[in-house]
Chain A
Amino acid sequence: MIAIPARVRGQRVRLVLIVLCGLALSMSCLPAQPPHKRGVSKKTATAQAVVSSSGERKFQENCSRCHTAPEQLSPRITRTIVLHMRVRASLSAEDAQDILHYLSP
């Protein structure tokens, strides 16, 4: 068995990573999913987008400060997520309720 020097192996790992990223990059140039499957991301892509509801505004005031909205969100888990974020972000009950209505209208 031929021993491969560590430096070469490190370079190979980086090469694989770059190829993977290149593939992912090219996938990103494919057409996006239809809007009806996109969940909430269209609504919250950037903070400067038009804010149409109290829940959306509260989402952007609180949640969007650390992360974007999940691209796809099953309605079965929205309350669980809002409870989780209520604890993490110290949301009041009212704010949590508004965000829940926004995520799961």
Chain B
Amino acid sequence: MSRRDLAGAPSTSEPLLRVEELRVEFPTEDGVVHAVDGITYQVLPGRTLGIVGESGSGKTVASLTTLGLTRRQGARISGRILFAGQDLVTLPEDRLRAIRGNDIAMIFQDPLSSLHPLYKVGAQLIEAVRAHRDVPKARARERAIELLALVGIPDPARRVDEYPHEFSGGMRQRAMIAMALANEPKLLIADEPTTALDVTVQAQILALMERLQRELGMAIVIITHDLGVVAEMADDIAVMYAGRIVETASAARLFAAPEHPYTWGLLRSIPRLDGPRAADLVPIPGTPPSLIHRPSGCHFHPRCPYAQPDHARIDPALEPTPDEPSHYVACLLSAQVRRGLWQELAAGRTPARALEAVGQPGAPA
């Protein structure tokens, strides 16, 4: 479990962010919540990593921890988060504060609750600028107007003096992005940035993030449950389940040849705009597990149609696939069986039929 490289990453480039064996636990009255359970990933300068998972998969906690935002909640944190030669896990709060909102910025799902309703948008932008730069207020205000123009808000010189409630949902998210960009961060973490938005506005915001990435050369970590969004945005993808990364590869590879049954489940359970219409959706049975009482062995085995009896005992490690060393998967099925199963599933067969076709005994019902 030492160094692992993310898929598709040119090995010459030094990673901007490197997360190693990160573990985040929250002790509660009901037991210890294992929110993040030993994840490793890296983000290269100027590239986009998509972290995909459902609610409770640990994707948000991992990112909040990067910014030190879980410290005060009594979290037990271990592992390393290396950014620009420093370990953010052990960095003292005052030095972390110099990085947060400066070198690393974050935008959240709900722009209405992330903006203060009683302060003008401009005042909040000015605060973001002056938190890290010793500039006069008038200069910071100019910068605020510049930022609003940069994110495509019409008439920024007037809008800068409006309150958040006077902005539409899409404009609020633009304002949040403007705030995140105030100090030209090297890394932008976007946690479900478009989930609360309508589809046409979502397309605008994603296009904006891509344009800003090209212009400013920043790296992006985009956290989402929407496979469509990561397919549009990400160079590399990590799929999280129950606090772990279960599969990671380049975006092209992950969608063309996914290896983990959970990834298959996600891909087959959403209707696609460009797919055949008649095909029945294949839901993933059951529900996401509790992070306090996690299933034994492979955490996905209770919901996995292909699980064998010993999968309830053995905990799979994240290992490279035989034919693509930058593609990692944590699955106990053999690579050959996995390939056979995915071929059947991709051809539209049900999990039961796929199992029959590869001659594998099914999971005990």
Do A and B come from the same complex?
no
A interface residues, Cβ below 8 angstroms from B: none
